[in-house]
Amino acid sequence: MKAEMLCLGNELLIGRTVNTNATEISRELTKLGFTFSHHLVVEDDKETIVDALRWIHSRRPDLLVITGGLGPTFDDIQMDCVAEFMGVEMEFSEEAMALIHERYGDDLVNEARTKMATLPKGSIPLRNRVGTAPGVISRFEGMTIASLPGVPREMRSIFYKEMIPYFKEHFETKEIHELGFTAYGVGESKILELTEEVRRQFPDCYFKSHPHREDDRLFLQLHVYGYVEEETVRAAAEAWRAAISEITPDVTNISHVFTDDFEGEMHLES
Amino acid sequence: MKAEMLCLGNELLIGRTVNTNATEISRELTKLGFTFSHHLVVEDDKETIVDALRWIHSRRPDLLVITGGLGPTFDDIQMDCVAEFMGVEMEFSEEAMALIHERYGDDLVNEARTKMATLPKGSIPLRNRVGTAPGVISRFEGMTIASLPGVPREMRSIFYKEMIPYFKEHFETKEIHELGFTAYGVGESKILELTEEVRRQFPDCYFKSHPHREDDRLFLQLHVYGYVEEETVRAAAEAWRAAISEITPDVTNISHVFTDDFEGEMHLES
């Protein structure tokens, strides 16, 4: 499944904020079987954004995830740009208004609520449990457009609680498992042959080695992954580790490579 | 001066590595007067990269910075892609070879040295003090292409020590200054008028306020910046701070907003 990522926000382009959203979202969707061929960050300018949407669409992805520009202020233009790109009108959504009301009651001024409840015609709003604007799902010529806010805490709430279940329902997602270990005192050339042998035994697994050198000490980071049962990946990692242990005794235990605790938004400010 | 950023590397697209290079480079170049309208991350595939180069070029930037894919291995294809995009041959550079030799002597295999010394015809190699591949400057139809490795330590060495001096010599760079402070217990609407007044006194400075709420406590992050003398920015920030102090007493001191210590490469692995 082909995916693309579009992130809106001048704070990313002036180097004030590190784009951890792109990393986190593509990491999670990679684990579900999506493949990203681009991440694109674009300035908060309607023409530039619509132009970027057209370019992305020309690559015919199954899924486009957009972050940023969903809030109530004048420079939150993601929905406008998506509607313009799709060639549809913006339309007030009772469903979106109900979600916003559920969270804020009458706490927000009318104008802000109405803006955030006005979506590209035919779109589906998704509950935002921690912030103001709902997430949104739109569909255009076989491409699903998944709209998220840029604030990581809000992005995460919608992404994990609403969007991933939607993707699991509407795409043929799979689950990746990845395990890794480190071998010291050995270079890549030494393990080529034995890796080939293990690879033949586990044809559904992928084997990767990353050579490093620290203080003149050689070591390899070794990863096995696959869209198969975790036990299969573990068996492959264990077979690989056993073979490498015969060359060097200095091999770490096998552990999960992906972690679920994420550093979150990073600012470069003092 | 218009700039664009292209980052190569599948590790970015699968969410393993956070793209701190894009943040750091655009932060530094923003301070010198460049404006980025895109950051683009692209998979390590020649056709996709050349297509991205054409799309970026269609926007006519003065400068394109590329990171990643400069090393000695088969998937380091940045130079090939740049040559193909420019429509020029790859050519062995004695100058690049001298830089590589200076650092490694005969320590690297011939093949690796020759690959890294082979550049798009007419390009200029830049010294890499900490790693293998030189940085490269190429020129194409009014656009300067600045090629950097993806490993942050190497990227930084070339970028700060070789490339920024080159940019200062070949572009009309300027220097930004930015100062900020925080005001507690006050919202944006309360400071609109007084901000307008200060703005009129300092027409060359930009004023930005970011509203926040933490544990039900309102506060504003306030920034003043401009491509002018630091004293002018400081005077503007002091005038703004003095005016806001009359509304709320809870105002921090003025401090620099940009820091020079950068977190560096972030991995999401355990």
Give residue-wise pLDDT tens across range B26-37.
Answer: 999 999 999 999
Distances in whole angstroms, Cα of residue B178 to Cα of each of A50, A185, B21, B32, B255: 31, 48, 21, 12, 9
B contact residues 117-136, partner A, Cβ 8 Å cutoff: none
Q: Does domain A2-170 have CATH number 3.40.980.10?
A: yes
At residue A262, does pLDDT exceed 70?
Answer: no
pLDDT classification of A258: cutoffs 50, 70, 90: low
CATH code for the structural domain at B2-174: 3.40.980.10
Question: What is the complex's ipTM, to 2 decimals?
Answer: 0.81
What does the alpha-carbon distance between residue A225 and residue A223 come to, in Å, rounded to a whole number? 7
For residue B204, the number of C-alpha atoms closer than 13 Å in the C-beta half-sphere is 12
Domain boundaries, chain B: 2-174, 177-256
Q: CATH topology of B2-174 equal to that of B177-256?
A: no
In chain B, which residue's Cα lies nearest the Cα of A4? B13
Q: Which CATH class is domain A177-256?
A: alpha beta
What pLDDT score was predicted for residue A141?
A: 95
pLDDT over threshold 60, residue A28:
yes
On the question of pLDDT at B147 being above 50, the answer is yes
| Chain centroid to CA A218 | 32
Average pLDDT of B48-76?
93
Q: Which residue has the tokens 């200062």?
A: B168
Q: Does the pLDDT at position B263 exceed 60? A: no
So what's the pLDDT on residue A16? 86
- Three-state secondary structure readout of chain B: CEEEEEEECHHHHCCCEECHHHHHHHHHHHHCCCEEEEEEEECCCHHHHHHHHHHHHCCCCCEEEEECCCCCCCCCCHHHHHHHHHCCCEEECHHHHHHHHHHHCCCCCHHHHHHHCEEECCCEEECCCCCCCCEEEEEECCEEEEEECCCHHHHHHHHHHHHHHHHHHHCCCCCCEEEEEEEECCCHHHHHHHHHHHHHHCCCCEEEEEEEEECCEEEEEEEEEECCCHHHHHHHHHHHHHHHHCCCCCECCCEECECCCCCCCEECEC
pLDDT in tens, A51-99: 999 999 999 999 999 999 998 877 789 999 999 999 999 999 999 999 9
Q: Please tell me which of the candidates A23, A48, A266 has its beta carbon nearest to residue B15.
A: A23
At B71-119, the pLDDT tens digits run 887 778 999 999 999 999 999 999 999 998 888 777 777 788 888 899 9
Would you give the DSSP letter of residue A253? P
User: What is the per-residue pLDDT across B198-216, written as a single tens digit (0 to 9) for each?
Assistant: 999 999 998 988 888 877 7
- Decide if B212 touches A, using CB distance below 8 A: no
**Which residue of A lies nearest to B30 if distances are taken between CA atoms?**
A14
Q: Is B174 on the interface with A (CB under 8 A)?
A: no
Judged by a CB distance cut-off of 8 A, whether residue A40 touches chain B is yes
- Out of B23, B38, B255, the one facing A270 most closely (by C-beta) is B255
* Cut 0.80: pTM above it: yes
